[in-house]
A and B are shown apart, each in its own frame.
Chain A
Amino acid sequence: MSNDEPKERADRAMFNDQHEARAERAMSNDGHDDGVDRRGFLKCMAWAGTGAFFMVEGGILKSYSLSKLPGLPTASAGTLSFVQISDSHMGFNKAANPDVVGTLKTAVDRINALPTAPEFMLHTGDISHLSKPEEFDTLDQILKSARAKDVFFVPGEHDVLEDEGAQYLERYGKGTKGSGWHSFDKKGVHFIGLVNVLNLKAGGLGTLGAEQLAWLKDDIRHLKHSTPVVVFAHIPLWSVYPDWGWGTEDAAQALALLKPFGSVTVLNGHIHQTMQKIEGNVTFHTASSTAFPQPAPGAADSPGPMKVPADRLRSVLGITDVTYLRGKHALGIIDSSLEENS
């Protein structure tokens, strides 16, 4: 590594490895013959960056190549469509992305170009980089131009710096409990926003805490077990990579409460890359950042912002579009990158 060129090649290699690892993970969850072999899947991944489509039926993940997307069901009566965006880091200005405002605007353009207008958005935290009022203001301003007007938030650790989340609660916590946890219903789907970025203990991971777990238990007490549940929180509720703090200490307790439910989808951010896992009735999925990518677990010395060649940046940022078909017990999750041709 004596000059810049091999360095760039190394970056790209890491980049490709990451995608391959993702594809392999996805394929290993796929026990079905859906007409897409591993090679075809990788080819699709290579073409589309983070673009991939996952349909969940009866707790089983099926993968489709993006070329088949036009043939998939579009909006119909009883369909719920929403978008997840995450980790916008307004105020971040380092080399990994000197224009986080620009990429967030592109994300909004992507949302506005979706074939089915989403009914609302979820933002899974790290709205700001340093919890500064002007950073929150910037995001609020940019999201105003999105077709979906309602946005439901949960905080990331970057949103609750210095004040234990007081400012976050004042801005985004209307009608929420505790440090900002809340639930709501849309077309028969029960949504639960959890907060796992406060009161973190030395050496530990994300934390929900006893008070929030008690609230969760009470919140779902009267729900029919056939009700589809979508849980969203900033830090993954599964052990993605504890060495980097990518997990939540007491997530198992929350998931135990959700065990009787037939369909549970858990949406997280924090790790700035897409990843998914199926465990019994639960589908775990993490969204891309709209600001900067982070390395695959263990692929670098630290989880710090990953620099990719400028012309590749938008291929590793993105949005997540989720569709629920009533009565079908199916949640379709599509990750789209911010790249032009995705």
Chain B
Amino acid sequence: MKRHHMGTAAGIVLFVALCAGLTAAEQSKPPATEVKIDNFSFSPAELRVPVGATITWTNRDDIPHTVVSTDKVFKSKVLDTDEKYSFTFGTAGTYTYFCSIHPKMTGKVIVQ
């Protein structure tokens, strides 16, 4: 979305067009995807989603867990039983994450 050497007027036109494009994308955003936290593991542990997808983690254990990106991109608060956390992935890439309380619990989201 960056065209630095464009004329100002053209730039504004492009900007407006992009904004319109984003709104359209929002209206038809990909369906939400669920990750369950069960038995001290993320399920599915690896997930492929399109750019713009929202993932919701739900803790189904009797013990609190967290969802923390290894690269500090996202970080949930502590999720007690049945609590949820959602994050929307706006940029393509591979995101590894873990539970900061039980670091043996790891997961991965691949955004394409």
Within the complex, the shortest CB–CB distance from B22 to chain A, in Å, comes to 33
A301 close to chain B: CB less than 8 A: yes
Within the complex, the shortest CB–CB distance from B40 to chain A, in Å, comes to 4
Structural contact, A161 and B103, CB atoms closer than 8 A: no
Structural contact, B77 and A304, CB atoms closer than 8 A: no
Structural contact, B62 and A243, CB atoms closer than 8 A: no
Structural contact, A205 and B103, CB atoms closer than 8 A: yes
Interface class of chain A by DSSP: loop
A40 close to chain B: CB less than 8 A: no
A305 to B61, CA, bound (A): 9
B70-112 contacts to A (CB < 8 Å):
70, 77-78, 80-81, 96-98, 100-104, 106
B64 close to chain A: CB less than 8 A: yes
Within the complex, the shortest CB–CB distance from B21 to chain A, in Å, comes to 36
> Contacts A161-B78, A162-B77, A302-B41: A203 and B61 contacting too (C-beta < 8 A)?
no
Find the B residue at minimum CB distance from A95: B62
Find the A residue at minimum CB distance from B38: A302
A205 to B105, CA, bound (A): 11
Residues of B within 8 A of A158 (CB): 64, 101
Q: Which of B39, B81, B98, B104 has the most chain A CB atoms closer than 10 A to its own CB?
A: B104
Structural contact, B104 and A304, CB atoms closer than 8 A: no
Structural contact, B77 and A157, CB atoms closer than 8 A: no
A243 to B77, CA, bound (A): 25
- Which of B40, B70, B97, B101 meets A304, CB within 8 Å? B40
Find the A residue at minimum CB distance from B68: A202
Structural contact, A244 and B77, CB atoms closer than 8 A: no
B25 close to chain A: CB less than 8 A: no
Residues of B within 8 A of A95 (CB): 62
Q: How large is the interface on A (under 10, 10 to 19, 20 to 34, 35 or more residues)?
A: 20 to 34
A130 to B81, CA, bound (A): 11
Residues of A within 8 A of B106 (CB): 202-203
Find the A residue at minimum CB distance from B80: A130
A200 to B101, CA, bound (A): 8
Within the complex, the shortest CB–CB distance from A197 to chain B, in Å, comes to 9
A25 close to chain B: CB less than 8 A: no
Find the B residue at minimum CB distance from A157: B101
Within the complex, the shortest CB–CB distance from A299 to chain B, in Å, comes to 13
> Contacts A162-B77, A203-B98: A94 and B62 contacting too (C-beta < 8 A)?
yes
A96 close to chain B: CB less than 8 A: yes
Find the B residue at minimum CB distance from A202: B98
Structural contact, A130 and B78, CB atoms closer than 8 A: yes
14 A-B pairs with C-beta separation under 8 A: A94-B62, A130-B64, A130-B78, A161-B64, A161-B101, A162-B78, A200-B101, A200-B103, A202-B96, A202-B97, A243-B104, A245-B102, A245-B104, A304-B39
> What are the 7 A-B residue pairs with the smallest beta carbon separation, nearest first?
A302-B39, A202-B98, A302-B40, A94-B62, A200-B103, A245-B104, A301-B39
Instruction: Give residues in A with beta carbon < 8 Å to B.
Output: 92, 94-96, 129-131, 157-158, 161-162, 200-205, 242-245, 301-305
